[in-house]
Structure 1
Amino acid sequence: MVFHIKTYNAIAEEGLQKFEGAEYQVNQSESPDALLIRSQNLHDIEIPDSVLAVGRAGAGVNNIPVEEYTEKGVVVFNTPGANANAVKELVLANLFMSARPILNGAAWTRTLATDDPNVEAVVEAEKKRFVGTELQDKKLGVIGLGAIGAMVANDAYRLGMNVVGYDPYVSVDTAWNISSRVKRALTIEEVLATSDYLTIHIPLMSQTKHIINAEKLALVKEGATLLNFSRGELVDNQAVLQAIEAGKLNQYITDFAAPELIATKNVLVLPHLGASTLEAEVNCAKMAARTLKYYLETGNIKRSVNFPTVDMNFQAPFRLSLIHRNVPSMVGTMTIELANQGINIVNMINRSKGEYAYTLIDLEDISTEQLARIVEKLESVEEIISVRTIENQVVYA
């Protein structure tokens, strides 16, 4: 079995190396089994019916039509946490720059005459123009305590800041990694009203779009600074500009360019630098490649945004991978069809996520004809979206 991978964008070589070997070919087929992308916008691309999965070397998936792919039975993976350190460091750097006018001071210094013998005296006389403040003892509000938010919260506390975080969906694993000295807020309103600095680290979904809007900004502590290194659409830009003009917000720092923000006073726009480190690109590419390989070779799903996590030891000769609607009696329908064909089930697992579900069924050694018959039977069931057969190469190695 040869799996074909198609890549978009420049994928780090360390990630592509995961596909070395006779079992994989990269960019050699117009009918790939999987796509590996970074920022490529797939909304306007008609992907081949052969595609089983898409791996996004990054956390956000707003460049992927996830709902459409789910209906087609295409599993979408991302790489949460792989670029967390890169984003965390950029957030901390911008916290420092928001407290101290470092960029303005450096830009002013570059305007000085290089042949002026009194340049040191000029600098000493004018440095009062760039007086800042200190982060120590200031309060940082972290909205979203996932991989990045938790790291920002922990390191900001170590810098001497008072940190309060809000996340109603924080996972158990993340909770263990958050310092006990980071105060947990019960509402987002508490964070907004009490923080000198606010930083957002939540995914973009229909319910989180413009989560920072005029209503929320009315609650913000006077003179606060807002940082957005998550997704541009989480913030209503017009509401932010009005809050800055009214003096409610002191600064807005974002990694997402928009025409209305560029060259606007008290707004700093960066060119989407969050994950732009060599280390982050490598980490994301390697994680995405490993995830795709694991799914293609075993049917197991980890780090998917549209299907449940399913991880079952593959210790049988054959495996069925079924994507289907989450409706009653589906498991019974599958097992009855297998029983009618006289096929014994070695192991199975079923998990659901919203309107869809995923089932793995391990089978004893059967003939090619039997396997083809059961696949045909299962594919004829209206609620089953896709059926894939996987041969366990390890069994025969």
Structure 2
Amino acid sequence: MSTRRHVLAIVPAHVGGRAAGTALAATFPGDAHVTVVESAGEDPAALREAHAIVTALAAVDAGHLAAAPRLELVQCASHGYDYVDTAAARARGVTVCTIGSTGAEAQNVAEQTFALMLALAKQLVPAHTALREADWALPRLQRSLTELSGKTLGIVGLGQIGREVARRAAAFDLRILYTARRRVPAETEERLGARHVPLDELLAASDYVTLHAPLTEETRHLLDARRLALLKPTAFVINTARGALIDQDALADALERGALAGAGLDVFDPEPPTPSLRLLKAPNVVLSPHVGGVTRETVVRIGLAAVRNAADFLAGRPPRDVVN
């Protein structure tokens, strides 16, 4: 890699900021010149010089791309890429990559999915809150407690993360349905014990629905009011993918009416969520601040995967996980 190759590492404050970006920059090969910022427009000179951008959930839009005449690559430090204008990048000949095939986040997001499912099924948050207030809530809570065993889990998206969820579901004796843009090979379905069905059928049949699809124009508000109405009133919705996959107002309506049993949400639209977001006060919701892909272990794996792919690209080697 030439010493003239410039990299812009963008890590916004809500996912670690400059300190995390500096740690990420330190993993680049020594001949890369890396500038760390918290937003793409923070340092216009560095943006003009950048041959590659590595971004951790920070927006890279058409304006940023136009201001970066040397740019060749936008590397997302995530499985998703909805925060990058991929159409504008394609028009300018800029490659966009993720870390999707590395599975760097998959294991932890799958664990977070089950943490939310179990918290809802076992009413852990209201039970914890009640006991803190010296309220022995067993008589009240037992009417809403449920179990995973023998229930149907609907997985929307069977990529790396969806497959990790399916693998764990077998241990809970869950029946698995899935829907995806492309049906997986029959041997994969057999190994995971997963049956492919259309989305509407999945929603109507599932006791738990978990989202693991990328956010695109086609999947935005994938669960809208019509589709949420297909769910059983005893069903739970889990979202550890992207907040905008669900119409958040429609979900709040369903929860407030008692048309759904509950929701476990690790992602929001926008992030961080605004204080006025109705889901923050909706009944029987378990919330976490987009921590599904973040542990001490996964942060290292994600950063290294993104840096390796960017370094390969800049060195003239074929990159992985090109999305545009």
TM-score, length of structure 2 as denominator length: 0.83
Find 1:289's aligned residue among 296, 307, 317.
Answer: 307
Q: Counterpart of 1:26 in structure 2: which amino acid?
A: V
Q: Counterpart of 1:7 in structure 2: which amino acid?
A: A
How far apart are 1:58 and its partner, in Å? 0.6
Q: Counterpart of 2:123 in structure 1: which amino acid?
A: P
In structure 2, the residue matched to 1:225 is: 236
Q: Is the 8 A contact 2:154 2:206 kept in 1?
A: yes
In structure 2, the residue matched to 1:111 is: 133
Q: Is the 8 A contact 2:9 2:25 kept in 1?
A: no
Partners of 2:194 and 2:94 in 1: CA distance: 40
- Give the number of the structure whose alpha-carbon radius of gyration is greater: 1
**Any residues of structure 2 matched to 1:12-161 within 5 Å, and which?**
15-21=24-30, 23-27=31-35, 30=46, 31-43=49-61, 45=64, 47-80=67-100, 81-112=103-134, 123=136, 126-131=137-142, 132-161=145-174
**Any residues of structure 2 matched to 1:1-397 within 5 Å, and which?**
1-2=2-3, 3-9=5-11, 10=17, 11=20, 15-21=24-30, 23-27=31-35, 30=46, 31-43=49-61, 45=64, 47-80=67-100, 81-112=103-134, 123=136, 126-131=137-142, 132-172=145-185, 180=191, 182-257=193-268, 258=273, 259-306=277-324
SS in structure 2 of the partner of residue 264 of structure 1: coil
In structure 1, the residue matched to 2:42 is: none
Q: Counterpart of 1:201 in structure 2: which amino acid?
A: H
Partners of 1:63 and 1:305 in 2: CA distance: 13
Q: Is the 8 A contact 1:150 1:178 kept in 2?
A: no
CA deviations on 1:294-339 (whole Å, 9 max, x unpaired) are 1111252321111xxxxxxxxxxxxxxxxxxxxxxxxxxxxxxxxx
| Structure 1 unmatched runs, 5+ | 113-121, 307-397
Partners of 2:218 and 2:132 in 1: CA distance: 45
Partners of 2:192 and 2:320 in 1: CA distance: 31
Q: Is the 8 A contact 1:165 1:182 kept in 2?
A: no
Q: Counterpart of 1:83 in structure 2: which amino acid?
A: E
Aligned residues: 292
Q: Counterpart of 1:237 in structure 2: which amino acid?
A: Q
How far apart are 1:181 and its partner, in Å? 5.3
CA deviations on 1:191-235 (whole Å, 9 max, x unpaired) are 111111111110111111111112212221232111111111111
Tell me which moved more, 228-237 or 162-171: 162-171
SS in structure 2 of the partner of residue 288 of structure 1: helix
SS in structure 1 of the partner of residue 176 of structure 2: strand
Identity of aligned residues (%): 27
Q: Counterpart of 2:9 in structure 1: which amino acid?
A: T
CA deviations on 1:252-278 (whole Å, 9 max, x unpaired) are 221234412111212333211121212
The RMSD of aligned alpha carbons is 2.2
Tell me which moved more, 291-300 or 252-261: 252-261
SS in structure 1 of the partner of residue 162 of structure 2: helix
Q: Larger relative CO (CA 8 A, sep 6+): 1 or 2?
A: 2
In structure 2, the residue matched to 1:329 is: none
| Structure 2 unmatched runs, 5+ | 12-16, 37-44
Partners of 1:218 and 1:103 in 2: CA distance: 26
Partners of 1:300 and 1:127 in 2: CA distance: 58
CA deviations on 1:3-41 (whole Å, 9 max, x unpaired) are 2212111547775444233x3222298312111110222
Q: Is the 8 A contact 2:119 2:286 kept in 1?
A: no
Inter-CA distance 103–246: structure 2 relative to 1 (3 Å threshold): closer
Bigger share in strand: 1
Q: Is the 8 A contact 1:156 1:163 kept in 2?
A: yes
Q: Is the 8 A contact 2:120 2:263 kept in 1?
A: no
Inter-CA distance 181–78: structure 2 relative to 1 (3 Å threshold): closer
